[in-house]
Amino acid sequence: MKTYATLLCILASFAIALTANAQSAITNGFDWQAMPSEPDFEIYNHRYLQVADDVVYFVGSTEDRIFNLADSWLFSYDTTNDAWEQVVNLSEGSGLDLIYATYMIDDNLFLGGRFRIEAGNWRPAVVVYNLEEDSFEEIIRYNVITSNNAGVENFFEADNGILYFVGFFSNNDGNNLGAINLENLEVETLSARRATSGIYHDGNLYLTGRFNVDGTAYGLAKIDAGTGEEEYLGAMSNPAPGQAGENLLLLDDSIFVVGNFPNMGGTTLGDIVEYSLSNQSWSRPINGSVGTITEITTFNGDIYIGGNFTTFGGEPIGRIATIDFENETLLPLSSGVNARVRGIQQGGDDLIVVGDFTEAGGKDLVGIARWTEDGEPVSLNPDSNEIPNIAILEQNYPNPFNPITQIRFTLPEAQPVQLDIFNIQGQRVQSVLNGIHSAGSHTVTVNAANLSSGLYVYRLTTPTQVLSKTMMIVK
């Protein structure tokens, strides 16, 4: 076998051929960044993300400790004016002891949660906060439930002027679906078992959770919005206590269910499943198990998931990823984040992420970060934003790998960059990057699903430098 030095000599003799093949967003110039500016106040416990009219809203607290019952604030970041605001103390204004869900419509922020009556006794409720009038209005408060699981847990909107909410707010397991008329804010409680999330499509409500019907646990419920007729789909085999669907996404003809479940609808694995509305069939978009997924959204036409998972296929994945349908795998977003993701939504040209993390992509990004294309990387830690005066190519991680790895490099200034992969015969087998990139650090994800096991060399070429390192694929 040729030595590493021989390989470098071979590669140095090659002419650089530019490629016109477009790469996915994950492998072409996306990176983790902070928001363009920092707030002049402290924020902790970021969660319940909403993006509306170029404004990012989320709930957090002002104290650095476990989420405080009396310290839930609404914070906002105006992307147009680059302005932060500590909007209102939601706990104080709403009276809710625990807030589980938010939903923004025009100037109204709907809050779902519960009031604490005494130890073990709760009253689920919905409160709406009007941003323009700076006022709170309680629109429903349910009777006492003696369960620590009580509360309004999620909202979803229909195209019929109704905002639905789900959760556990009735001791009768058949009355846990609420419907808010958005014209007059009147509430109707409907028949449905406890659910964690829902969507509206073509006159039907689709709910996920864990629905025990005649001795069988199901992960998806279909309810006719007109007649209330119920149908249960996605039977689960022997789910453990607490295993259930957590969230839903409708994309084209399919409903994607994510959560913490062993299987659903006859699939062999859980975590994420796809239900085809036209074929009424179940499948899995990925080959392998990932762990508990709680968040799912679309960004630039792709599906992104988040939660508290750390590995996929034996490789680190960092709690957030996108689905590669062609190869039935997950693509990590650089090295991901170092603690739980609690919200992901598209905001303009960026994917906005909130959660318990203090790092994203190896950078000091606390609680909120952007997955964004190009641009100068920004850090919440001013001392970590130093840029070297030469290009630096780092060792890929993980290494060895199968089939996903990340390559990180740093540029002293904006300049053309080409990143290619060569086999030991000196043949270029993959072009990863080819374009102008800004000064600072960049991380790209390489999918080597189409490459065989063996030793490869990856090479970074700039106008003034050629840098190479080896990596190993083990399948």
Same domain, 74 and 181: yes
Per-residue burial over 371-410, b = 16 or more CB atoms within 10 Å of its CB, e = otherwise: bbebbebbbbeeeebeeeeebebeebbeeebbbbbbbbbb
| Residue 112 and residue 139 in contact, taking contact as beta carbons nearer than 8 Å | no
Same domain, 244 and 315: yes
| CA distances from residue 202 to 80, 205, 206, 220 in whole angstroms, order as listed | 35, 8, 10, 16
Q: 19 pLDDT exceeds 80? A: no
pLDDT digits (tens, 9 = 90+) for 200-240: 999 999 999 999 999 999 999 999 999 999 999 999 988 88
- How far apart, in whole angstroms, are the C-alpha atoms of residue 453 and residue 456? 9
Average pLDDT value for the chain? 85
CATH number of the domain enclosing 349: 2.130.10.10
Structure tokens at 54: 């170029």
- What confidence category does residue 349 fall into, taking pLDDT thresholds of 50, 70 and 90? confident
Dihedrals φ, ψ of 309, to 5°? -80, 150
- What confidence category does residue 374 fall into, taking pLDDT thresholds of 50, 70 and 90? low
Same domain, 40 and 142: yes
Structure tokens at 406: 């990340």
pLDDT digits (tens, 9 = 90+) for 176-205: 999 999 999 999 999 889 999 999 999 999
pLDDT digits (tens, 9 = 90+) for 114-151: 988 777 788 999 999 999 999 999 999 998 887 778 89
- What confidence category does residue 377 fall into, taking pLDDT thresholds of 50, 70 and 90? very low
Q: In terms of C-beta distances under 8 Å and separation of at least 24 residues, what long-range contacts does 237-246 make, across chains too?
A: 237/262, 237/263, 238/262, 239/210, 243/210, 243/270, 244/196, 244/208, 244/209, 244/210, 244/219, 245/196, 245/197, 245/208, 245/209, 245/210, 245/219, 245/220, 246/196, 246/197, 246/208, 246/292, 246/293, 246/294
3-state secondary structure of 186: coil
Per-residue burial over 429-453, b = 16 or more CB atoms within 10 Å of its CB, e = otherwise: ebbbbbeebbebbbbbbbbbeebee
Pair type for strands 254-260 and 44-52: unpaired
Residue of 309, 238, 278 whose CA lies nearest to 286: 309
- What confidence category does residue 426 fall into, taking pLDDT thresholds of 50, 70 and 90? confident
| Mean pLDDT, residues 401-427 taken together | 88
Q: 8 pLDDT exceeds 70? A: no
Structural domain ending residue among the three candidates 334, 351, 383: 383
pLDDT for 208? 97
Q: 270 pLDDT exceeds 50? A: yes
Same domain, 161 and 253: yes
Q: 1 pLDDT exceeds 80? A: no
Same domain, 258 and 274: yes
- What confidence category does residue 66 fall into, taking pLDDT thresholds of 50, 70 and 90? low
Please name the residue that has the structure tokens 């957030």: 320
Q: 15 pLDDT exceeds 50? A: no
Structural domain ending residue among the three candidates 350, 383, 416: 383
pLDDT for 18? 28
| Mean pLDDT, residues 283-300 taken together | 92
Q: 386 pLDDT exceeds 60? A: no
Please name the residue that has the structure tokens 């402290």: 42
| Mean pLDDT, residues 382-386 taken together | 40
Give start and end residues of each alpha helix (H) in 13-145: 90-94
Same domain, 21 and 91: no
Q: What percent of the chain stands above pLDDT 70? A: 88
Burial of residue 70 (CB within 10 Å: 0-12, 13-18, 19+) is exposed
Same domain, 11 and 79: no
pLDDT digits (tens, 9 = 90+) for 273-287: 999 999 999 999 999
Same domain, 452 and 361: no
- What confidence category does residue 65 fall into, taking pLDDT thresholds of 50, 70 and 90? low
CATH number of the domain enclosing 433: 2.60.40.1930
pLDDT for 27? 36
pLDDT for 341? 97
pLDDT for 234? 94
Same domain, 370 and 455: no
Domain encompassing residue 174: 31-383
| Better pLDDT: 208 or 376 | 208
- What confidence category does residue 29 fall into, taking pLDDT thresholds of 50, 70 and 90? low
Structural domain ending residue among the three candidates 331, 352, 383: 383
Same domain, 69 and 216: yes
Give start and end residues of each alpha helix (H) in 64-171: 90-94
pLDDT digits (tens, 9 = 90+) for 48-61: 999 988 899 999 99
Q: Is the dihedral of CA 342, 323, 419, 5 positive or negative?
A: positive
Beta strands in 10-72 (DSSP E): 30-33, 44-52, 55-61
Q: 12 pLDDT exceeds 50? A: no
* The most confident of 63-72, 77-86, 440-449, by mean pLDDT: 77-86
Same domain, 240 and 320: yes
Contacts of 228 (CB under 8 A, 6+ apart): 190, 191
- How far apart, in whole angstroms, are the C-alpha atoms of residue 45 and residue 52? 21
| Number of domains within the chain | 2
Same domain, 67 and 95: yes
Range with lowest mean pLDDT among 99-103, 123-127, 319-323, 331-335: 331-335
| Better pLDDT: 139 or 315 | 139
Structure tokens at 165: 């909410």
Structure tokens at 324: 């590669």
- What confidence category does residue 389 fall into, taking pLDDT thresholds of 50, 70 and 90? low
